[in-house]
Amino acid sequence: MSLPGEHQLDNLAITLELVTQLRKNGFEIPDEAIAEGISKARWPGRLQWIQGTPPILLDGAHNAEGVETLARYLEKFPPAGPLNIIFGALQDKPLVEMGARLAKFGHRLCFVPPRSNRTITREEFGSTIESQGWQWFPTLKEACAFCQAEAGTLLITGSLYLVSDALRIFNKNV
């Protein structure tokens, strides 16, 4: 299977059940097409590694369940050195819970407000996760510069808006 993460096995099981139901309803889906789809599936911004210095991990963990899945991945596959985290989430997300779970892994903790009309303000940040050690950065580029000044792996996670911006910055296909 081409997608990383144990949770993708659950997604695969659901997909295969869907294929079974489609076949029962008259859809002709060859086994070869299924095998090819499984081997070639890509999901930019989901446990996506960008090789370089520093190595960068992008993951659109945009809710508490996504952060928990990312945390299990980091526990199973911890980075070799310090992990510098850039995190951004919208105001309708459980920031305190998400920030606390991620902070356990981080060396440098940077919060960037995603580009959205639902982003949190500097004041909301101050009353939520700043006390967990997160530092506010107005832009992703500023947070990246701060984190890349320190050795280690860079994790950019949270809002899909933020991860999409990271893909553009690092010139990866969105």
Write the CATH number for 91.
Answer: 3.90.190.20
- Asked if residue 113 and residue 152 are part of one domain, the reply reads yes
Strand partners, 44: none
- Asked if residue 160 and residue 119 are part of one domain, the reply reads yes
Question: How far is residue 160's CA from residue 88's CA, in Å, rounded to a whole number?
Answer: 9
Q: How far is the first Cα of the chain from the last one, in angstroms, to the nearest whole number?
A: 21
H-run or E-run covering 111: strand 109-111
Question: How far is residue 130's CA from residue 22's CA, in Å, rounded to a whole number?
Answer: 49
- Asked if residue 54 and residue 25 are part of one domain, the reply reads no
- Asked if residue 90 and residue 29 are part of one domain, the reply reads no
Q: What is the pTM of this model?
A: 0.79
- Asked if residue 35 and residue 12 are part of one domain, the reply reads yes
- Asked if residue 161 and residue 122 are part of one domain, the reply reads yes
Check if the beta carbon of residue 5 is closer than 8 Å to that of residue 69. yes
2 lies in some domain: no
- Asked if residue 153 and residue 76 are part of one domain, the reply reads yes
Question: How far is residue 62's CA from residue 163's CA, in Å, rounded to a whole number?
Answer: 10
Check if the beta carbon of residue 111 is closer than 8 Å to that of residue 142. no
- Asked if residue 129 and residue 72 are part of one domain, the reply reads yes
Question: How far is residue 67's CA from residue 5's CA, in Å, rounded to a whole number?
Answer: 13
- The tens place of each residue's pLDDT in the chain, 174 residues long, gives 555 556 555 666 666 678 778 888 888 888 887 777 666 666 567 788 888 888 999 999 999 999 999 999 999 999 988 999 999 999 999 999 999 999 999 999 999 999 999 999 999 988 889 999 999 999 999 999 999 888 899 999 999 999 999 999 987 654
Q: What is the pLDDT of residue 2?
A: 54
Question: How far is residue 35's CA from residue 149's CA, in Å, rounded to a whole number?
Answer: 43
| The two three-digit tokens of residue 85, written as one number | 């985290």
Q: Where in the sequence is the domain holding 71, given as residue range(s)?
A: 48-169
**How many separate domains does the chain show?**
2
- Asked if residue 143 and residue 67 are part of one domain, the reply reads yes
- Asked if residue 108 and residue 86 are part of one domain, the reply reads yes
